């Protein structure tokens, strides 16, 4: 396998060397055309060698091999487009692995911090990595992560209980702030209206408009007689 990989690397270097000559601006057009054909032949040999390699994916991870395949793809050579697609998938997988390693590195810092002092961003990052990359954590990280997960659950329960208690207290205060209309006995918010002459105390806006005010008007005109 090493011998074949060595040959693949040599073919890739040949592609680069011939391509550089084919694109040299100081060369004549005839020389360029000649080197283009040589470049194509070198790329074809590379494709053929890759087809015989036992581990094509490992060979395609080599940067020089990748760029040589891209050169062959420019000339629409058979096999280059397929290998180019494989290279793109390899690069995507490499980016995923790199991102996963970065996530786990940050996760490793978070799980050894004081749980009570974690920011909302840290907690969000913790759960993201906990759910997404659990299988890639080592045993110590998994054990510590389970401990942190338990602590965060307790903190969340305490916060929820405190929030429910606060809401209950606010509801109780709001209920205490309600007044009862002395006329219709319904509760209302605000300061209310003087219910005289119909009653002593305060009434709601509805009773004030339809009962108290008409009663006062009637009383006013009665006193004028």
Q: For the chain, which residues make up each domain, given as ranges? A: 1-93, 111-177, 179-224
pLDDT value of position 95: 94
CA distance 89 to 97: 12
Global model pTM greater than 0.85? no
Contact 202, 222 (CB under 8 A): no
pLDDT in tens, 101-140: 999 999 999 998 888 888 889 989 999 999 999 999 999 9
Cβ pair 87, 60 in contact under 8 A? yes
pLDDT category of residue 222 using cuts at 50, 70 and 90 = confident
Q: According to the model, what pLDDT value does residue 211 have?
A: 94
Q: How confident is the model at residue 100 (pLDDT cuts 50, 70, 90)?
A: very high
The pLDDT tens digits of the residues spanning 10-38 come to 999 999 999 999 998 888 889 999 999 99
Average pLDDT, the chain: 89
Residue 53 confidence class, pLDDT cut points 50, 70, 90: confident
Could you give the C-alpha distances from 15 to 37, 60, 130, 149, 150, in angstroms and in order? 11, 15, 46, 54, 58
Region 81-99 average pLDDT: 94
Q: What pLDDT was estimated at residue 19?
A: 94
d(CA 90, CA 57): 8
% pLDDT > 90, the chain: 62
CA dihedral 106, 112, 117, 120 (to 10 degrees): 30
3-state secondary structure 80-145: HHHHHHHHHHHHHHHHHHHHHHHHHHHHHHHCCCCHHHCCHHHHHHHHHHHHHCHHHCCHHHHHHH
Mean pLDDT to the nearest integer, 46-70:
91
pLDDT band at 224 (very low <50, low <70, confident <90, very high): low
- CA dihedral sign of residues 25, 29, 31, 33: positive
Continuous segment of H or E residues that includes residue 202: strand 202-203
Average pLDDT of the residues in 168-178: 73
pLDDT at 177 over 70: no
Distance CA 206, CA 2 (A): 95
């Amino acid at each position: 396998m090493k011998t074949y990989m060595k040959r693949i690397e040599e073919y890739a270097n040949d592609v680069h060397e011939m391509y550089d000559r084919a694109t040299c601006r100081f060369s004549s057009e005839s020389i360029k055309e000649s080197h283009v054909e040589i470049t194509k032949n070198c790329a074809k040999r590379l494709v053929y060698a890759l087809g015989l390699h036992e581990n094509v994916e490992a060979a395609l991870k080599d940067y020089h091999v990748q760029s040589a395949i891209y050169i062959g793809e420019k000339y629409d050579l058979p096999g280059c487009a397929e290998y180019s697609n494989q290279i793109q998938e390899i690069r995507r997988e490499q980016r995923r692995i790199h991102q996963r390693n970065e996530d786990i590195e940050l996760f490793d810092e978070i799980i050894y911090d004081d749980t009570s002092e974690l920011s909302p961003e840290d907690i969000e990052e913790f759960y993201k990595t906990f759910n997404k990359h659990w299988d890639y954590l080592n045993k110590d990280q998994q054990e510590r992560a389970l401990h942190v997960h338990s602590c965060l659950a307790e903190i969340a329960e305490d916060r929820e209980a405190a929030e429910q208690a606060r809401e209950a207290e606010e509801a109780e205060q709001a209920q205490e702030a309600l007044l009862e209309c002395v006329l219709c006995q319904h509760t209302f918010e605000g300061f209310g209206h003087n219910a005289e002459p119909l009653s002593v105390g305060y009434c709601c806006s509805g009773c004030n408009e339809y009962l108290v005010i008409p009663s006062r008007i009637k009383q006013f005109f009665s006193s004028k007689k």
